[in-house]
Amino acid sequence: MPSSNQFTGLQMPVFSAFGWAGEEKAIEFALSQLELFINSLYYYLHRDIQAQFPYYGLDRTNKSVYLSTTEKPGEGLYIAFNARPMSLELSIGLTNKAALVKAYKSLEASPATFYQIVSDLGPDWQLHLQQMEYDEENETSSSYQDIFKDSVMKLDLDSTATHFSRAAFLNGESQWLVPFYLSERIDSEKASAMGSTILKVMSERVSNLMPLIKMLTGKPRRSKAKAKPASQARIRTAAPIAETTIRQPSESADLERFTYVSELKPLHLKKGFVNLTPNHWPFFAINARTEVREVSVKYEEKINKKSAVWRLVPTDQARIVLAPQVQEWLEENFGSNDRIQVTAIKLNDQDRQIILDHAE
C-alpha cells in the first residue's frame, strides 16, 4: 500500500471535491493531493525548467498549485494547475504590469514566433487577453473588456500582430492593465485515469511551453533582421505574378507573403493538389536543388503539417500537394471550377505556412 506522501495520481474525488459546496474536509483532501502532485511534478521536471521556475507550491486562496518565476506568483510568470469538477486546467498567467510591458514588447516584435508556437500546441489551447481598468496608486484592477478570448486556432498572423500591438499600447498606459492568460483543459476522468503517468504528461506539456515562456520572460527579439550581403538577400520574384498580391502584413511582423487565387479542376480534387505558378517556387526553394518543401497547411480551424510544395520540372511550376486529411476537406468543400484562395506566409527562415480558403 503506497505511503501517504507518495503520489499515485489525481483521483476523481480530487476533482469532485471542488463541486461540493461546504465540504471542507473534501477540499482539504483535494488540496493535499494537489500539493503532492506539484511537489512530485517539480522533481520530475528537467533542471533547466526548474531553474526557470525556482518556486512552486500550493495557493490556498485560488485553490490551485503553481510553478513560478518569482516567490510571489503574481509578480512574475506562473503556470497554475486548477482542478475543477470536470477538468484539470493548465494555465500560463502573467498579471504584473511591469512584467507585461517586457512580455508584450517581445510579442509585438515577433508575432509570427508566438503564432507558430501556439499553432503547434493545438486547438485545445485558449488565449485570453483581458483589458482591465487599473488603479496605479492602489495597484487594483477591474475588468473592462476582452481583447481576445478564444481558441488559438481562431488566430491568424495578422490578427495576432494586431492584438499584441493593441495589448502593448494599452498596458503601457497608466490607466490600463492587460493580463496574459493561455490555458488548456483536460477532461477530469482522463486526467484521473492517467494515475502517476500524469507527471510525465504534464512535464512534457511544460517542456512544450518553454519556447513561449522564454519569449515572455527573456530579452525581446529584434523586429528586423540585420542587413545581409546581396548574395544572401531574400529571394524575390523577377516579374509580377498574375492574380497575386505580395505585401507585408505589418511592419512589426517583418514577414513576406503572397496571395494567389487558383481554379480547381476535377483532377485537382481527385488527386489532392493545388497549382501555383513558376514564379511562386522561389518563395519555397531552400536552394537551387530543392524539389520538395514541407509546409503546414491551415484550413478552417485546423493545421496539417504533412503537406508539401513540389517543384515540377521542366517549368519549375509550384504545386501544393495536400495530405489526405486536407484533400478530404478540399473534396467536401470545393467543386470543379471553384476558385480557391492560397495565402502563403514565411513564418521564419525554416517554416512556410499555407492558408486555404474560398476565394471572395
**Three cell numbers at 355?**
492558408
Cβ atoms of 160 and 154 closer than 8 Å? no
State how far the alpha carbon of 207 is from the alpha carbons of 70, 212, 213, in Å: 19, 10, 10
pLDDT at 23: 78
The angle that helices 111-121 and 157-171 make with each other, rounded to 10 degrees, is 120
pLDDT at 211: 94
Cβ atoms of 244 and 260 closer than 8 Å? yes
| DSSP E strand stretches across 140-187 | 140-151, 176-177, 180-187
pLDDT at 251: 36
Domains of the chain: 12-217 (3.30.930.20), 231-358 (2.40.330)
For 274, residues 6+ apart whose C-beta sits below 8 A from its C-beta are 262, 264, 268, 319, 320, 322, 330, 340, 342, 356
Among candidates 154, 180, 158, 157, which has minimal Cα distance to 167?
180
In one-letter notation, the amino acid at residue 92 is I
**Three cell numbers at 44?**
520530475
pLDDT at 153: 93
Cβ count within 10 A of residue 273:
20
pLDDT at 349: 83
pLDDT at 98: 93
pLDDT at 175: 94
**Three cell numbers at 271?**
488527386
Cβ atoms of 151 and 140 closer than 8 Å? no
pLDDT at 255: 53
Give mean pLDDT in consecutive 10-residue pieces for the chain, a chain of 360 residues.
Answer: 72 90 84 95 93 94 94 94 94 95 94 92 94 88 93 92 96 95 96 95 95 82 36 33 35 64 92 93 90 92 90 91 93 92 89 91
For 21, residues 6+ apart whose C-beta sits below 8 A from its C-beta are none
Identify the H or E element spanning 127.
strand 125-135
Measured CA to CA, the distance from residue 27 to residue 31 in angstroms comes to 6
pLDDT at 274: 95
pLDDT at 238: 31
The residues facing 125 across adjacent strands are 184
pLDDT at 348: 84
